[in-house]
């Protein structure tokens, strides 16, 4: 009997994964434990080992397809065996092409002489149930059944409702309808399918900017103390030598946030906010697959050295792509450091549903008037704070930034606290 190999569930919160590369092809002999394919979650990549032995009979999804967890991905069994029963019926692949042509069903159901008097009873935002027939018709016609106005019993979208939007497509439907671009005679570009991570970033960033009221404040502080402190640590060698300026900023943020709960928070909806008792710091990490943001849980209870080690460990896991998806969520505030890349100031984008993100910039030399009236040069580090104006106003945000700067300027005092 043929056996299916399923898409593993890579973490409690993971709903679906994207197939990376197929390591085996149909017809190959496979043993239990052989790598069949790689797959990616939102932010990590894994290898799927075969759970069955025999011939790879059929592959149900292609590279790049998104597959819900626990759904059959391929079938392994005896050569020539029928494995059609294992073929998943779920519409797992997002990329399943929508038919360009409208398939006209044989029968046209009744359209009452007049427009239906029944109005939509579905509450805003609540999904209306769709009858199997309406669903099938919508799929064949390539329209989005959920855009139909339900007129069936119990707010159900029925066949006639789908026919109504087929005849008079709603504006939104037009926008969402797939547009097949005509391919030019010569290929002057390459279309690259987004990886799972890229897709997640794309979705998250777009959601962030399109749903929040974001604005950014730029400030700077005198980095003399932390630079000296860093130098001292470096001289100590060992683990201490690995503590970076970024780690120091993370430590300061984890302490300063305790006085600014509105920035250590999640927006639940437009009307409420969840304030966290501990600081779970998201740290932006640049990886070959793209931006990843692992979380340092309870950073407010960790020492500077512990934070430093945690960041290194998480960053390494991200770069290797084997981080558990559960470590990639749960952050309450994020710090993104572009200072090493020479950025002097930027507008970081909030990682929803958090309410703030701190951008750490390059340290530059600035001049100021000294107490004796002379001009002195000092190292200034820029901080760019983006916050969600729905949750936090300009003044409190500025106060956080001010306090953070003071804490960094007096870092040794902060350490003593």
Partner 1 sequence: MPKSLFVDPAEVREAGKVVFKDIPVNQYNKTIKEELKSGKYKREDLIRIFRDMTVLREFETMLNLIKTQGSYNGIDHTYPGPAHLSTGQEAACVGQAYLLDENDFAFGSHRSHSEILAKALSTIEKMSDEQLMEVMENFLDGKCLRATEKLGECKDKKELAIRFILYGTLSEIFARETGFHMGMGGSMHAFFLPFGIYPNNAIVGGSGTISTGAALFKKINDKKGIVVCNVGDAAMARGPVWEALNFAAMDQYKTLWESHNDGMPILYNIFNNSYGMGDQTRGETMGQDRMSRIASGVSPTQFHAETVDGYNPLAVIDAMERKLELLRNGQGPVMLETVTYRYSGHSVSDQNAYRTKEEIDTWKEVDPLVTYPAKLVEAGVMTEDEVNAILKETSDRMTMICKAAADPEFSPYCDFNKDPAVVERLMYSNEKVEKFDDREPEYLVPKEEAEGYKKIKSKVRNSVDENGKPVSKMKMYNLRDALSEVIYDRFYEDPTMIAYGEDCRDWGGAFAVYRGMMDALPHSRIFNSPLAEGAIVGTAVGYALSGGRALVELMYADFIGCAGDEIFNQMSKWQAMSAGILKMPVVLRVSVGSKYGAQHSQDWTALCAHIPGLKVCFPATPWEAKGLMETALKGTDPVVFFESQRIYDIGEQFHEGGVPEERYEIEIGDVNKVRDGKDVTIITIGAALYRAVDAAKQLSEKYGMEADIINLHSLVPLDYTKIVESVRKTGKVVLVSDACARGSFLNDVSKNITELCFDDLDAPPVVVGARNWITPPFEFDEYFFPQASWIIDAINDKIVPLNGHVSENGCTEAEALRRAKQGV
82 is catalytic: no
What does the alpha-carbon distance between residue 92 and residue 18 come to, in Å, rounded to a whole number?
10
* Two tokens, residue 132: 């199997």
Question: By CB under 8 A, is residue 131 in contact with partner 1?
Answer: yes
Q: Which stretch binds partner 1 (CB under 8 A): 48-56, 152-160, 173-181, 307-315?
A: 152-160
Near partner 1 in 157-186, by CB under 8 A: 158-160
Given candidates 45, 72, 151, 280, which one binds partner 1 under the rule CB under 8 A?
Answer: 151
Q: Is 198 in the site for partner 1 (CB under 8 A)?
A: no
Could you tell me where the DSSP H helices lie in 4-109? none
Pair 196, 42: CB distance under 8 Å? yes
**How far is the C-alpha of 348 from the C-alpha of 338, rounded, in Å?**
10
Catalytic annotation present for 389: yes
Give the span between the Cα atoms of 17 and 7, in whole angstroms: 7
117 near partner 1, rule: CB under 8 A: yes
Which segments of 103-195 does DSSP mark as H helices, in order? 132-141, 159-167, 171-176
Spell out the alpha helix ranges (H) of 257-345. 304-320
Tokens for 84? 């059609």
Q: 68 burial class (0-12, 13-18, 19+ CB within 10 angstroms)?
A: middle
Q: Does 128 bind partner 1 (CB under 8 A)?
A: no
Residues 9, 136, 199, 278: which binds partner 1 (CB under 8 A)? 136
> Is 133 a residue that touches partner 1 (CB under 8 A)?
yes
Instruction: Supply the minimum distance, in Å, between the C-beta of residue 127 and partner 1.
Output: 18
CA distances (Å), 153 to each of 18, 135, 150, in order? 38, 16, 9
Sole residue written with tokens 């305790």: 258
102 binds partner 1 (CB under 8 A): no
Q: How many chain residues are in contact with partner 1, going by CB under 8 A?
A: 24
Find the shortest distance in angstroms from Cβ 192 to partner 1: 36
Q: Which CB sits closer to partner 1, 117 or 185?
A: 117
Taking CB under 8 A as the binding criterion, the range among 148-156, 274-282, 305-313, 401-409 that sits at the site for partner 1 is 148-156
116 touches partner 1 by CB under 8 A: yes
* Interface contacts to partner 1, rule CB under 8 A: 106-110, 112-114, 116-118, 131-136, 151-153, 156, 158-160
Active site residues: 389, 393
């Amino acid at each position: 009997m043929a056996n299916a190999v399923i898409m593993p569930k890579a973490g409690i919160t993971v709903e679906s994964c994207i197939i990376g590369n197929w390591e085996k092809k149909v017809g190959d002999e496979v043993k239990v434990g052989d790598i069949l394919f790689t797959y990616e979650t939102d932010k990590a990549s894994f290898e799927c080992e075969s759970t069955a032995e025999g011939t790879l009979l059929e592959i149900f999804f292609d590279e790049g397809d998104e597959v819900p967890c626990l759904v059959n991905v391929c079938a392994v069994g005896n050569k020539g065996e029928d494995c059609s029963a294992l073929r998943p019926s779920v519409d797992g692949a997002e990329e399943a092409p929508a038919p360009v042509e409208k398939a006209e069903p044989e029968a046209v159901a009744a359209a009452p002489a007049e427009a239906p008097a029944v109005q939509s009873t579905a509450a805003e935002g609540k999904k209306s149930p769709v009858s199997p027939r309406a669903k099938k018709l919508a799929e064949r016609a390539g329209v989005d059944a959920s855009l139909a106005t339900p007129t069936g019993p119990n707010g159900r979208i029925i066949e006639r409702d789908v026919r109504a939007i087929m005849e008079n497509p709603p504006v939104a439907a037009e926008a969402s309808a797939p547009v097949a671009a005509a391919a030019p005679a010569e290929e002057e570009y390459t279309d690259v399918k987004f990886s799972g991570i890229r897709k997640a970033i794309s979705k998250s960033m777009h959601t962030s900017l399109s749903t929040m009221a974001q604005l950014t404040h730029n400030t700077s502080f005198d980095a003399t103390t932390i630079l000296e402190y860093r130098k001292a640590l470096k001289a100590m060698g060992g683990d201490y030598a690995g503590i970076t300026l970024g780690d120091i900023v993370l430590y300061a943020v984890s302490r300063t946030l305790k006085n600014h709960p509105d920035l250590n928070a999640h927006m639940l909806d437009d009307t409420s906010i969840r304030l966290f008792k501990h600081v779970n710091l998201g740290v932006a990490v640049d990886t070959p697959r793209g931006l990843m943001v692992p979380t340092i849980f309870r950073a407010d209870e960790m020492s500077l050295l512990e934070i430093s080690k945690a960041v290194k460990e998480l960053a390494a896991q991200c770069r290797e792509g084997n981080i558990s998806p559960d470590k990639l969520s749960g952050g309450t505030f994020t710090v993104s450091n572009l200072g090493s890349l020479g950025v002097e100031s930027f507008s970081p984008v909030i990682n929803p549903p958090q309410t703030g993100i701190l951008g750490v910039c390059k340290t530059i030399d600035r001049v100021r008037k000294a107490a004796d009236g002379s001009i002195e040069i000092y190292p200034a580090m820029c901080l760019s704070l983006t916050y969600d104006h729905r949750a936090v106003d300009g003044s409190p945000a500025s106060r956080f930034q001010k306090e953070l700067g003071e804490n960094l300027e007096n870092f040794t005092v902060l350490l003593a606290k």
